[in-house]
Chains A and B, each alone.
Chain A
Amino acid sequence: MVALIVGLKWQLLRNGLRRSTPQLVGLILGGLYGLSVLVVVATGLITLRFAVPSDAARTVVIIGGSALTLGWAVFPVIAYGIDETLDPARFATFAVPRRQLVLGLLVSSLVSVPAAVTTILGLATVITWSRSVLAVLVAPVAAAVAVLTCVALSRVTSTAFSSMSQRRRGREAVPVLVLLLSVGLGVVGSSIMKHLSTPGLLPHVADVLGWTPLGLAWAAPADIVDGATGTGLLRLLLAVIVLAAALLVWDLLLRSALENPRGATSERAVTRDAGLGWFARMPATPAGAVAARSLTSWRRDPRYISSVALMLLLPLGLLLPPLSGGSNLWSLAMAPTAGFLLGWSMHNDIAYDGTAFWTHVATGVSGRADRIGRLAPTAMAASALLPAYATLGCALTGRWSLWPALLGVGVGFLLTGFGVANVMSALKPYPVPGPGENPFGAPPGSSALTVVIQAVAGAAVFVLNLPLVAIGIGALTGRVWMGWLCLGLAVVLGSGALGLGTWWGARIYERRAPDLLADLARIR
């Protein structure tokens, strides 16, 4: 049975390569790149064998190993839905004894490129630690425990996730989790970068990590080499316990996944909403209906939630340089950046409808109503965000005279962005993740078209706003009247661009609505 499962995984890996030539070329290039990185790292590990004293080797192996283990544990969260090849729930209908299934799935997890890389790195550390007889005996065991722990942890995460994502609620929590995770990693990463120069910090970090489940197995041989045999063996024992615990948790999760496939018996987490919601608040016109529908989707569809979060966070990222002692001037760019992102982001809005867009085609809704209604959520967000960011920028720099200029450039970017988006989204939608899919995943085979359309939309918005940016920079030099000019021009030019874009986009929409539906059906 174990051999059969491993064989299945091997077959899947080979079939994955059989798809198309461009994919194969990409894979080979990626593989070559990965291989060169692997060779460099492995060579480094072997060179560390000869480093005197062995402290450097200890620090590098423990921190690197812990990071690798953490990566294994976290990766299934970010990449969920990408590799479901051996989803345990798919074995539910076959009567495979669970012990054999656990063993088979564990061994089959080793048949993958990342596992092979990790194994090679583990073997390289054996050479790093080949400084004494005892170390040579302990290091391979520790390396094996470390590699198995990596695989077991990733299985735990992905099994927990696959049972969680059976339920819509669970699936919708994922993007928020990913976002929090990446923000957390970013904060930790930046503070590490900041303190990197502090002497003695890294060995200290390594000491701490060496006692966490992530680093135990990687640290054990280092103790042996340092002569602390007792400590080393204790760590090895603890590492084995961690591995056993991970396997046990996985086994338990598998049991629930197998006995309860597809969350069949779990209670249905149903959202109820008796009223009409936004449909009661928006004007009772086709445009108002489209606006209400967009607003409802923005609230309930995780794909919009995650893009909103990104648009909120990206301008806030401009606060990082001032906070870490850089120039305050960065914070002035917040309002313009937010305006640009919010306006530009609408250029593929229709793709998020998917084939549900047929409702618009079948009802024969006018191009103008469709174009204008879609802008509602972003316009509402922007009307709060742009003044807030402009105010924040002024507060941080103390240059209140710049407020009209900041708001002006932001509004200009926003409105021209809307105008460009109204034309672009009627022309050519490009693939986006479907409802319920990983909002951060890119659907395959889309990259070239996606990049071209995004770049064209971005460039168009930017070029149209060059005069405003120039006047804004003029205001930066202290001419207050230029700031007010900028704001006034932004409203006039922006409204013009929006009006023109809506008119043109509506004409294209009315000509192409069925073709848009065909495009949407094809990219789905």
Chain B
Amino acid sequence: MLSLHGLSKAFGSTLAVDRLDLEVPRGSFFGFVGPNGAGKTTTLSMATGLLRPDAGTAHVMGHDVWSDTVRAKQLVGVLPDGLRLFDRLTGMQLICYSGLLRGMDRALVVERAHELLGALGLQDDGGTLVVDYSAGMTKKISLACALIHAPRLLVLDEPFEGVDPISTSTIRQILQGYAASGGTVILSSHVMDLIQRLCDRVAVVAAGQIRAVGTLDQVRSGMSLEERFVDLVGGATDVGEGLAWLRSSSD
């Protein structure tokens, strides 16, 4: 579905992504985990055509993201992290904008937009400017924008960051339904517990390279994902007996 080969990107002298290879099979629910600065966002941006790689290729269902651009982009829905939205539009207008930019029919876009707003619990907020949305509502409206053209592959960068438990559960249900009906999802997250419950395949990335990849059970190898993650990435500080003054029982 999505295959990345030898992807590399350097920002100045820092190598953000270093000859990264990744295969995301069709129909999989793929978790992409790694510590801060591991190159997750950089990798996903290069895979979706938002960031030009220094080297390497990215293919979506055999279409090269960087040469067969239009065809590849039609197949993908993107929810990037850390980029703005056209937040002076209302939620409804923003979803419609994403659809119309892809050349879809207006009646179809409006119909789907209403359905998406309903499914995401935003039916009363479609007329509100996105700039007035909470963080969770903003994530949900971004997801709606990524879904409007019924993509075959969903690439979601931190879709659960700053989202409350109720919205998280809504988004989860939508994604699980999407995956169950044959869609492919790749999402990045810090929350191991969530990845563990949602995904059937996982890749652990650190310092721009894949440390482990495979089905959830292969990667976990008997531990919890969090233990395995800390084990693979390393560098967790043992607090031990420090910060004694912070323990209120010490006085």
Contact = CB atoms under 8 A, between A and B. Distances in A.
Interface of A: 168, 268, 270-277, 279-280, 284-286, 288-290, 292-293, 296-297, 300-301, 353-356, 358-365, 369, 435, 514-515, 517-518, 521
Contacts of A276: 92-93, 96, 110
A279 B69 CA distance: 26
Interface string B92-128: 1100111011110110011000000000000000111
A435 B132 CA distance: 13
Contacts of B83: 355-356, 358, 521
A516 to B, nearest CB: 11
A258 B90 CA distance: 32
A286 B149 CA distance: 14
Contacts of B110: 276
Nearest to A284: B106
Contact of A364 (B70, B84, B106, B109): B70
A98 to B, nearest CB: 30
A277 B93 contact: yes
Given A277-B93, A518-B51, A289 B100 contact: yes
Given A293-B89, A356-B85, A358-B80, A273 B127 contact: yes
A290 B49 CA distance: 20
A488 B241 CA distance: 85
Contact of A285 (B69, B74, B93, B103): B103
A364 B74 contact: yes
B129 A300 contact: yes
A284 to B, nearest CB: 4
Given A285-B103, A286-B100, A359 B85 contact: yes
B38 to A, nearest CB: 19
Given A270-B132, A293-B89, A364-B69, 14 more contacts: A270-B128, A271-B132, A285-B103, A286-B101, A288-B100, A293-B86, A297-B88, A356-B86, A359-B85, A359-B86, A359-B101, A361-B50, A362-B50, A364-B49
Looking at B48, B101, B110, B131, the one whose CB has the most chain A CB atoms below 10 A away is B101
Given A270-B132, A279-B100, A285-B100, A514 B87 contact: no
A363 B102 contact: yes
A363 B102 CA distance: 6
A361 B93 CA distance: 18
10 contacts: A276-B92, A279-B93, A286-B101, A286-B103, A290-B101, A296-B93, A356-B87, A358-B50, A358-B80, A364-B73
B151 to A, nearest CB: 10
Contacts of B88: 296-297, 300-301, 435
A262 to B, nearest CB: 14
A289 B128 CA distance: 19
A515 B52 contact: yes
B154 interface: no
B7 interface: no
B128 A363 contact: no
Nearest to B129: A271
A358 B80 CA distance: 9
Nearest to B126: A274
B80 to A, nearest CB: 6
Nearest to A373: B101
A362 B97 contact: no
Interface in B59-94: 69-70, 73-74, 76, 78, 80, 82-90, 92-93
Contacts of B87: 356, 435
B204 interface: no
Contacts of B73: 362-364
Contacts of B80: 358, 362
Nearest to A301: B88
B39 to A, nearest CB: 16
Given A276-B96, A284-B106, A353-B86, A362 B129 contact: no
Looking at B78, B87, B89, B126, the one whose CB has the most chain A CB atoms below 10 A away is B89
A437 to B, nearest CB: 13
Nearest to B73: A364
Contacts of A356: 83-87
B56 to A, nearest CB: 14
B51 A271 contact: no
Closest 3 CB pairs of A and B: A289-B100, A364-B73, A284-B106
Contacts of B98: 359, 363
A329 B82 CA distance: 53
A270 B49 contact: no
Interface string B136-173: 00000000010000000000000000000000000000
A369 to B, nearest CB: 8
